[in-house]
Every structure is written in structure tokens, then in C-alpha cells.
Structure 1
Amino acid sequence: MAGSAHQGDPRTTLEFLLREQPRTYDEVVRDFGRLASDLGEDVTLSTRHLRRLASGERTNTTPVMRRVLQAMFGRPLEELLAPWDGVLPAATAGSTGLVLATGQPTADKELIEMAARRAKSFALTAGQTDLTTDVLEQVHEDVQRLATDYPQRPLTELLPDLFTTQDTLFTLLEQQRRPSQARQLYFLAGVTGGLLAKASHDLADPYAALTQARTAFVCADSADHNGLRAWIRGIQSLVSYWAGRTRESVKYAQSGMEFAPNSTASVWLPVSEARAWAALGNANATRAAIERAEAAWDSVQEDEVDELGGLCTFGRTRQIYYAAEALSLLPSQTTAAADYAARAVDAYEDTNSPEWAFGDQAGSRSALAITRIRAGELEGAAEAVSPMLQLLPEQRINGIIHCAQRIHRALGESPLAEAGGELQEQIEAFTRTPLKSLPS
């Protein structure tokens, strides 16, 4: 049951309803996402946000989130968030029953979803030599959904659809297509390959990540799409950076600038270069790259990759986080790093923002914790890192594990080492169960 770990009476009506049904918070959040999609609403809900709503710690929601929650539970949001008084009012008409209904077997829903996937597969691969607009729109929609979901949902929820989508695109490309359709399919295959490169990196497999990225770049060449070429170079720079291949990361970032005159990749690439220079200990090159990234905003115009959203575009919040992380690697830049990190942490507090990403949020907190360790603020460092250490194993992607290890190392090398033993133990416990260790 959702919330079963809590003791005592429910704090809100919502918490009571969640305890009464046989689903975890993560499953409820997935149902929320499906319902939002069915209703045509563009909104996501994180597990953390749901927990805070249920506990009464948070009451603010966007209008679109309010509509989906009310449809999901069949009750006004004010009633859901009201303190629990032991009396459950009658549900309003029109409730979907996704959470409250007990007479709809899960197996039936799975069969329906499986039938829908099979129908879509047939429509996409039924031997058509000339694809219809509907087919191309369907594949584009699938790729866009994966791009927007990627930064905000656990990878385990997305991998099956990533695999299926890539397989579908490769199957479609193996048949002869009109040049305009082939170009669209290569573009979408390149984006999907980039997402799978990121997925491989998140699972701590840089070899598979760079293999996917190289294939994605071939697709970008076949589509003759400079924005996609630049974005893939950004993925390659990211993978190389976290794999410790920092000079290679610099080269990928610099190479990508050849293709990124106006898209948001023109910001991503120099600030990615900055992280790699910082890892190499070059403070001057780091600051210069950060300044180039900031200046690039003056000429940014969104392209076809940016329009997909999510992981495919690079916003100001991510830029601030990247700068914070880069500068946090350089002891001489601690003051500037602390400023950037504080701004990034504040920006990522808004879980309703399209730019919100649990991985980047954790990275921002890691950078802030490191700057506080250098300032001798053990309690401040523990406070900064605490939310990160509460992430579930399925959210402990490769980059987050590396960030936690950096905090551990910074603490061990500081005068706070002895006093920070408890925090180091918490980090060690956290890193013992990364995403890559979970059963597939």
C-alpha cells in the first residue's frame, strides 16, 4: 500500500486514499502520467511531490496538475489536501477510478496495453512502401514523449519503450522510402539513439553508450541535420566526461560547435567543455568556456531537436547546474561555485518546471555540498546532500553515484573528515545500490 511505512493516522484525505489502495507511490505516479496522457494534459508528477502533497507539507499545484488529480480521485483538490477527519465524502461523478476502483483487474489493463502496442506495430510495419502522415506522426510522438519523460522518470520505466521505438525505426528504415520520409526517420532514429546512449551511460556502460552515439551520428549524417549532429556531440561529450575521458570530452564538445550555430546545443557544448576542463584542473579554460556558453544565448533559436523538449533541449537551469559542477571541481573557484550551486538548487525545487530533472537536481546539490565542505560547514553540506541520498535505487544513475562519491572524497580530504564520518557512511550506503545493480 502507498504510504504504508507511515505510522499513525493519515494526515490528509489524500494520504488516507493512498493507504487504502494496493499500489506504491511510484505506481500511483505512473497511473497519473497515463491518465494525464489520456486526458491530453501535459503534466508530470514526481513521487516526491506526491508524498509531500499527501503529508500536507505542500499544497501548491499547477491548474493542469489539479485537473488530473481531481479526475484521478473524483474529488476536488481542496478536499484531497484537507486534514483527515475520519470521514470520507462521497466521490464526485466522473471519477476515473484509477486509484480507488477495486474491480478492474491489472491483467486486463496489461492486455489492453499489449493489444494497443501490437496494433501500433502492425500499422507501422504492414509492408507500406509509402508511409502515411499518421504513421510518421505516431513515431514522432513516441520519440518526443521519450525525450520529455527521460529527465523526470526512472530509466527502468522508459527502457522497454526506448528499445521498441529504436527497433521500429530501424525496421522502417530497412525498407525503401521516399527521400523526405527517410530523412524524417533517420532524424528520429538519431534522437532515439542519443537517448539510448544516455541510458547506457546511466547504467554505467560507456562502451555501449558511445556505440549508440556513433550510430546516432550516422543517422544524423543521413538526415543531414546539423542540430542533431551537434546534440549527439553533446551526448558524446557527456559520456566521455563521466567515464573519466576528459580530453576526449573536450574534443567532442569543440567538434560539436561546428554544427551548432543557433540551437541550444550552442550553449550546452561550451558548458560541457567547461566541466571537462575543470576535471583537468584548468581554471582559465573553464571560466572562458562558461562565458562562451552565456554569450551563446544572444543568438539561440530553437531548432527541430529543441522542439522535442526534455533531454533534447538545454535550458538556463541546466546551464547554471553545469557551471556549478565545473567550478566545484576547482578549489580556487569555490565562491563562484557556491553562488551557481545555490541558484541551481533553488531552480530545481520547482518540480513542475519543464526543466526539472532529478539527476541534475542531485548534481546541483552535490556541487553545493562540496562548496560547503570547503567552507567548513558540515551541517550545511549534510543538509544540501540529504534529498539526494533519499533517491530510490532506480533513480541512482551513474552520474548521481559519481556525484555522491565526489562528496565522499571531498569530505575525506577536508579538515571535517573525522566529524563527517556519519555522512560518509550514509554516502557509502547510498552508493552500494546503484541503478546498474538492480535486476533487469
Structure 2
Amino acid sequence: MARDRREPRTMLEYLIQQSDRTYEELAEEFSRLDSRAAISARHLGRLARGERQLADSTPATRRALQALFGKPVEELQLPWTAGHPSTAPAQPAALALPGTGPERNILAMAAQRARQYAMLAAEATTPAAIQQLAEEVQRLALAYPQRPVNEVIGDLAETQDTLFTLLERRQPPDQSRDLNFLAGITSGLLAKVSHDLADPHSAMLQARTAVLCAEQAGHPGLQAWLRGMQSLVAYWAGRYAEAVRYADAGREYAAQAGGTSAVWLPISAARAYAALGNAEQAKAAIAEAEQSWSRVRPDEMDAMGGICTFNQPRTLYYAADALAWLPSEAAAAADYSSQAVNAYADPHDPSWAFGDQAGSHADLAIASIASRDLDAATEALAPVLELPAERRINGIVHSVRRVHQAVTRAGLASDARDLIDGIEHFTHTPANALPR
């Protein structure tokens, strides 16, 4: 990597420029300074340029930076100005060799080669560092259903970068398995990010990479969860037959793992079957999903929590979403959607998810339109139309558009001008239209 000699933006960037080490070399030293620290060269660069705040870094990262550069993190983050009093970071002690001839150069080269070998030998990530990464991935999995995408995308990308950087090094088999497991979850979450920002191509690319990680980890629970994620992306992209195939492809993995993906997969297929107009298959898949709850044995994915586990409220929402496609099932759709709306009423409930809550309200609006009750439909959709732009993710926008279509198909457009105007205003600024 070429050394960056442009004007430094922070004290940290200045100190890095003054050192004889690349960002990659400095990143590799972290785990030796603090067994719980792990950082990628890219993330270190962002910290140095002031694009990320050191105060938001993990305690282990801050400790390692202090040890590496001999300054408190508050000072490292300060803007750098020419003439600022500073000392370069301490360098490893050099051998004091007599003379200035070729022997000195040879010995210096040999010392540098020995140092490089020692760094390579130390590349195996410590269990403490992996535990730190696991806690970060779990934090993001818990936050994802409840926070706007723009609040988690940066941390997700940096965590994925760190995990991929570690996996590119030599790791013992057990640690490689753990890192691949975490990388698979993180890539799956980034597939959801891409989907939420209406980019199904990138979503599927992330999902395929996540599947490769799951294969390397040998983890059926992760495989099942990722098939559910692929089914979700295909469903909202309008590829309903593909959504069914992904759901079916995950069933064997779900049977091995025993976790809640055994519920997610058939209920995902139910939505796609209903969108295809296959009412009998949809209802059979809903029944299968509900019966699967009696056989669930929480697995390692469920232990992560958040978006990594499937819960009862989501079962109600998915069933409502499926039946909302079927005019003959309007009464059942109204029942499921009412239950789902009630299940998502408390934003402090750990199972609450703003996207699923909005979808439940949209399904209740569609069920109300089926019974030609525009007042009830307007009331059901009102909380959704009040969502700020950063929460108008792809699935919510599609759900709201389905309400628009239901009004038009029911021949109620002339009586529902306010509702239609509200929907069109809402969908005019989806989350993917916001600057990031």
C-alpha cells in the first residue's frame, strides 16, 4: 500500500503518516496490544480521516489506539494543524549495530523479515476478540428491526469488513468456523439492508456470499435463516415462484437445526403462494408454520435474537400478508391482521419491529377495503403514513402501494381521494431516495 502523504486531517492520521507502518500493519498489531481488539485497515483509515468518531469505538479499540500511539483517544481525534506539537508513535527498538557497511543493511533486512514472520504467526484471532465481534453482531441483529437503516448500515459494513479481513488470514479451524458464522450473519443483515433500500441485486449478492460463509461454518441454522432471507428478497421483488423455491430449499437445514426458521420458511412460502393466486397451498403453508411452533428448539441463530429469530408476532403478520392477497380469505385476513396490529402495539416489546408493524397495519387496511369500510382502512393506515422518510423502507412502501391497488380494484378510488393522496405522498420519498 502506498503511503498517504496528503495533509493529515487528524492527529491520528498525522501519527500514522509519520510511522513506518501501513494501515494493514497497524491493524494487525491491535490484537497483540489488547486481546479483545480487532480492526480492519479500512476502518482504521476512516478513524484517521475523521469519518468515524473514536468515542463511538469499542473500549478495546480505544485501549489499543492509546497503547499504539501513546496518546489519549481525545487527542488522537483532534484536527491536525501544521506546527502542532506532537511526537511520532513509538517504534519497535532497533538493533544497535556497529558500522555502516552492507552487513548492517543485511542485518536490518533480516530483522524486518523476522518481524514480518512474527506478525504472520500472531494473526490467529484470540477467542476474546471473536467474542467481542460476536457481541457486536448480536447488537446489530437486535437493533436492526427497531432502528432506521441509516443508523446501522455503517456499523454493519465495518463489521463485515473486519470479519472478512480476519478470514483472509490463516485461522485455526474452530476460530475460522466462528468467524464464518459471524460473517454469514453480517452479510445476511447487509442483504436485508440492500433489500430495504430497494436494491434486490445487491441483496442477493450479499446473501450468496453469506451462504458461502454458512457452508464454511457448517451451520445448518444459518443456512436455513439465509434461505428465509433470500425468500424475503425474492418475494418483495415480485419473484414469487423463486421465493417459494428458496423457502423450500431451506427446509432440510431447518429440520437439522430445529430453530425458528422452521416456522419462517413455510410462512414465507405462504405469502408467495398467495401472491401467485394459489389459495390452497397458501393456507396449507400457514397451517404448517403454526404447527411447527410445537417442534421448535431454539438454536444458535435464535440465541442471537432480533432479526435472527422468528417470533409469534411475525407469524401473525406473515399470515395476514398472505391472506390479504386472496379476496376469498378477507375475513381470515382481517382476523390475522388485527391480531398482528395488537401484537406490535408496544414499541418497547423486544419482539417489536417497525417494518412488520407497518405491514400489519397495511394488511388491516386491505382487509377493511375488502369489506368496503374506507374509514377503518384510513384509520389502520394512518400510523404508517406518519412514518418519517428514513423508515420508509422497501417492504413498507410496497405494502402501502398494495393498499392503493386494493382501493382501485374495489372501485372506491373516487370515495378515497384523501387516502390515495396520502399514499402517493408517502411513496414519493422512500428511504432509498434519502442521501446517505
The amino acid of 2:382's aligned partner reads S
Q: Deviations 1:154-174 (Å, cap 9, x if unpaired)?
A: 000000000000000000000
Q: What pairs up with 1:308-319 in 2 under 5 angstroms? A: 308-319=304-315
- Counterpart amino acid of 2:380? A
Q: Give me the whole-angstrom Cα distance separating, in 1, the residues matched to 2:56 and 2:267.
A: 41
Between 1:413-422 and 1:259-268, the stretch displaced more is: 413-422
- 2:135 corresponds to which letter in structure 1? E
Write out per-residue CA displacement over residues 323-376 of structure 1, whole angstroms, 9 at most, x where no aligned residue. Answer: 000001100100000000000000100111111000000000000000000101
Checking the alignment, whether the CA contact within 8 Å between 2:355 and 2:396 is kept in structure 1 is yes
CA contact (8 A) 2:359 2:399 kept: yes
Distance in 2 separating the partners of 1:134 and 1:286:
46
Aligned partner of residue 182 in structure 1, secondary structure: helix
Offset of residue 127 of structure 1: 7.5
Give the letter aligned to residue 397 of structure 1.
Answer: I
How far, CA to CA, are the matches of 2:426 and 2:311 in structure 1? Answer: 29
CA distance in 2, matches of 1:159, 1:384: 30
Alignment of 1:200-219 (within 5 A): 200-219=194-213
C-alpha distance in structure 1 between counterparts of 2:433 and 2:369, whole Å = 29
CA change 1:327–1:121 in 2 (3 A) is farther
Contact 2:54 2:62 in 1 (8 A): no
Match of 2:20 in 1: none
- The CA deviation string for residues 211-239 of structure 1, in whole angstroms up to 9 with x for no partner, is 00000000000000000000000000000
Instruction: Choose which of 329, 332, 348 in structure 1 pairs with 2:344.
Output: 348
- SS of 1:418's equivalent in the other structure is helix
The corresponding residue for 1:169 is: 163
CA 1:114/1:351 → structure 2, altered by over 3 Å: closer, same or farther? closer
The one-letter code of the counterpart of 2:408 is G
Check the 8 A contact 1:327/1:333 in 2, yes or no: yes
Cα pair 1:320 1:340 within 8 Å, conserved: yes
Matched, 1:304 2:300: yes
Q: Does structure 2 conserve the Cα–Cα contact (< 8 Å) formed by 1:121 and 1:168?
A: no
Partners in 2 of 1:381 and 1:434 — Cα distance? 21
Q: Trace 1:247-258 onto structure 2 (pairs within 5 A).
A: 247-258=241-252
Distance 2:63 2:425 in 1: 43
Deviation at 1:298, TM superposition (A): 1.1
Of residues 161, 166, 179 in structure 1, which corresponds to 2:173?
A: 179
Offset, 1:116: 5.4
Contact 1:162 1:196 in 2 (8 A): yes
Please report how far the alpha carbon of residue 247 of structure 1 lies from its aligned counterpart in structure 2 after TM superposition: 0.3
> Residue type of the partner of 1:371?
A
2:174 aligned partner, one-letter code: S
Residue 351 of structure 2 corresponds to residue 377 of structure 1: no
Residues 191 and 378 (structure 1), Cα distance of their counterparts in 2 relative to 1, 3 Å cut: same
Q: Deviations over 1:383-402 (max 9, x none)?
A: 00000000010000000000
Quick one: structure 1 residues 394 and 293, their matched pair in 2 at CA, closer, same or farther if it must change by over 3 Å? same
Considering only CA atoms, is the larger Rg found in Structure 1 or Structure 2? 2
1:115, distance to aligned residue in structure 2 (A): 8.3
Query: Which whole-Å CA distance do the structure 2 matches of 1:369 and 1:324 have between them?
Result: 11
Once the two structures are superposed, the pairs formed by residues 21-420 of structure 1 within 5 Å of their partners are 110-113=53-56, 118-119=61-62, 128-261=122-255, 262-420=258-416
What code does the residue aligned with 1:380 have? A
Question: Structure 2 CA distance, aligned partners of 1:330 and 1:279?
Answer: 8
Cα drift, residue 113 of structure 1: 2.5
- CA–CA distance in structure 2, aligned partners of residues 359 and 157 of structure 1: 15
Does the 8 Å CA contact 1:257/1:269 hold for their aligned counterparts? yes
Q: Normalising by the residue count of structure 2, what TM-score does the alignment of the two structures yield?
A: 0.74
Structure-2 change in CA distance of 1:414 and 1:257 (3 Å): same
The 3 A distance-change label for structure 1 pair 425 and 137 is same
8 Å Cα contact 2:125/2:166 also seen in 1: no
Residues 114-138 of structure 1 show CA distances to partners (whole Å, capped at 9, x for unaligned) of: 5858548879xx9833322220110
Instruction: Give the gaps of 5 or more residues in structure 2.
Output: 1-49, 67-119
Does structure 1 retain, via aligned residues, the 8 Å contact 2:127–2:175?
Answer: no
Q: Percent of pairs identical after alignment?
A: 52
1-structure distance, mates of 2:209, 2:402 = 32
Distance 1:127 1:336, change over 3 A: farther
Distance 1:120 1:183 in 2: 27
Structure 2: distance between partners of 1:195 and 1:273: 20
| Count of paired positions | 332
Instruction: Output the CA distance in 2 between the equivalents of 1:389 and 1:168.
Output: 38
Partner Cα distance (2:418, 2:61) in 1: 52
Moved over 3 A (4+): 114-123
The match for 1:435 among 408, 431, 434 is 431
DSSP-derived class of the 1:141 partner:
helix
Q: Which amino acid aligns with 2:301?
A: V
The answer for the alignment partner of 2:422 in structure 1 is 426
Q: Which moved more, 1:242-251 or 1:112-121?
A: 112-121
